[in-house]
Structure 1
Amino acid sequence: MHIPATGPAAPWPKASPNVSLNIIITHEYFIKTLGIVITWIVAWVLVRYLSRWIQAFDKYIEEVDIDTRELSTLDRLLDYAVVTVAAVISAYILGLTEALYSLLTAAGVIGIMLGFAIKDVAANFISGIIILIDQSFVVGDSIEIGEYGGIVQKISLRSTDIATWDGPVVSIPNSTMATEAVINYSINPTRRIDVTFSIAYEEDINNALDAVRTIVEAEKRWLPDKGINVYVSDVREYAIDVRTLFHVPAADWFSVLMDFRLAVLGEFQRREVELAVPVRKTVYVGEIPRTAGGPQPGGVKE
């Protein structure tokens, strides 16, 4: 049997360098393309559904009524921001770093110029968003800010309208509402009545204290769990001050205050307790100014 001679095994064909390079390049392009596609898919979803999410947020915050035009403006601004971010990410993925840096530099310069031009509008707009999210006050609340006080009538993205106690409506920029101290009388369910009566010196102070306490205890809107404080708060030149502190529901504060003052005055009249009246004394040194009766000796004129 003849066995043919065998030589060394033939080597496996080596991969061409060009083929390996093509594979790497193809893989890199695939990753970049996938990243860009995902970026713009996310951007498309955000642009498509942002308006719905904003409307849902507006409905969720029932106490705040955002104008339809303001919702549309906010939606457009957010859409522009999403597209801009997507474009920057795409440029970064493609390796356009130099162009990206130039673009960002130019955008920064333009942004600074626009910022100086519309800083007040932007501040009001951003403050409006913060107010809507924070909800430190809502429509219908009784608030006081600076020299203005009244009922919150409307909260927009640029300003807040307050119907003042006198009737006129004042529109205050949201940047002011967000930075200055706002007193909200509607957050707490109760509010304190604080009234001081000035009693004449010759009156029976215990009788006056009892009269005030009797009126408070007869008030049906008074909250007994908060207690009553009726005490002498000051002794002045011509009067003794009686201070009264008690709590009532916040919604009834103004009406209770008016009714309480009238009731105390009526009780004082019934008990013959006189309120203090300021008395001015004029002291003349020497001769009193001439009157119809002629000169008179110096003295005291009340």
Structure 2
Amino acid sequence: MEWSDLIDKVYTTLTLYGLRVVSAIAIFVIGRWVAKGVIRLIERLMVKRKVDETLVSFVSNLGYVALLAFVIVAALNKLGIQTASFIAVLGAAGLAIGLALQGSLSNFAAGILMIIFRPFKVGDYIEGAGVAGTVESIQIFTTQLKTPDNKTIIIPNAKISGDNIVNYSTKGTRRVDMVFSIGYGDDIDKARQIIMHVITNDERVLKDPEPVVVLSELADSSVNLTTRAWSKSADVWDIFFETTERVKKTFDAQGISIPFPQRDIHIYEQKTETA
């Protein structure tokens, strides 16, 4: 083979594959630029519709990875590399990973559903999966709560979404339920007036619905008066504790007793006959 023929063959080869390499690089660069533009557009639309920030970040990252994978496959195909086997390997690897991470994937799916349907949000006080606390963060796999005694609880999303969820912060107001016990010899009307006086003089107690004090039970050792008052959700426990203390002090001052549990014991004498 003469040098001229060799040079022509090398030139032809470089020209052919060089164009392929340049085309593949162009596809990758332009495709990556287009993918970023598409993701930015999706982010703007989601933010405009006030979608949760966690979901916006997750969708944008997942979408970018998917688009970038498509661009890489297109670039490899332009180089003449058979991508069918490559895609099959990726599919098999994805299946194997999915089977190995079934629990994590269920938590992932539950996290997505919670972010979309929003049964609760950060800052809400909720009860679910056997625990209760204030929501600190809602992540893709777990939800983090802070208990009233400042403990951190991390719950898998699949567990909390698969159980009943009680959200104490959804409504702006809540009902405060209290029970006060008096003796059978005490004046029921007087006790009711004392309780109503304490409640109605608390500015945090709402006027509508009106608070009520009703006789709810004739117990073994006491007469129980159930008290129901409405307030803002943030004031519930303060009202509960302070009202209990004020009612106790007023009962003491007005001579209303709060009985202890008691039981009457009757003793019978039995005389035995002597022989």
TM-score by length of 1: 0.65
State the distance in 1 between where 2:250 and 2:150 align.
33
One-letter amino acid matched to 2:63? L
Indicate the SS of the match to 1:188: coil
Which residue is 1:261 aligned to? Answer: 244
Indicate the SS of the match to 1:224: coil
Task: Kindly indicate whether residue 168 of structure 2 is the aligned counterpart of residue 180 of structure 1.
Answer: no
Contact 1:58 1:66 in 2 (8 A): no
Query: Which moves more between the two structures, 183-192 or 51-60?
Result: 51-60
Task: Kindly indicate whether residue 62 of structure 2 is the aligned counterpart of residue 77 of structure 1.
Answer: yes
Deviation at 1:230, TM superposition (A): 0.8
State the distance in 2 between where 1:240 and 1:147 align.
33
Contact 1:65 1:155 in 2 (8 A): no
Task: Kindly indicate whether residue 229 of structure 2 is the aligned counterpart of residue 229 of structure 1.
Answer: no
Which residue is 1:245 aligned to? Answer: 228
Task: Kindly indicate whether residue 38 of structure 2 is the aligned counterpart of residue 49 of structure 1.
Answer: yes
Deviation at 1:53, TM superposition (A): 3.8
Which residue is 1:20 aligned to? Answer: none
One-letter amino acid matched to 2:120? F
One-letter amino acid matched to 1:168? K
CA spacing shift, 1:232–1:83, aligned 2, 3 Å: same
Summarize deviations over 1:76-95 as a string: whole Å, max 9, x none: 43334345678999xxxxxx
1:196-235 equivalent positions in 2, closer than 5 A:
196-235=179-218
State the distance in 2 between where 1:120 and 1:243 align.
46
State the distance in 2 between where 1:283 and 1:58 align.
76
Deviation at 1:276, TM superposition (A): 2.0
Contact 2:107 2:140 in 1 (8 A): yes
CA spacing shift, 1:121–1:207, aligned 2, 3 Å: same
Structure 2, unaligned stretches of length 5 or more? 1-29, 75-82
Deviation at 1:181, TM superposition (A): 1.7
Which residue is 1:135 aligned to? Answer: 118
Query: Which moves more between the two structures, 134-143 or 234-243?
Result: 134-143
State the distance in 2 between where 1:105 and 1:286 align.
94
State the distance in 1 between where 2:170 and 2:178 align.
22
CA RMSD after TM alignment: 3.9
Structure scoring higher RCO (CA < 8 A, sep ≥ 6) equals: 2
Indicate the SS of the match to 2:208: helix
Which residue is 2:139 aligned to? Answer: 156
Which residue is 2:260 aligned to? Answer: 277
Indicate the SS of the match to 1:113: helix
CA spacing shift, 1:286–1:166, aligned 2, 3 Å: farther
Summarize deviations over 1:270-299 as a string: whole Å, max 9, x none: 211101210145667889xxxxxxxxx9xx
Asked which structure has the greater CA Rg, the reply is 1
Which residue is 1:166 aligned to? Answer: 149
CA spacing shift, 1:109–1:286, aligned 2, 3 Å: farther
State the distance in 2 between where 1:251 and 1:137 align.
16
Contact 1:127 1:175 in 2 (8 A): yes
Contact 2:126 2:132 in 1 (8 A): yes
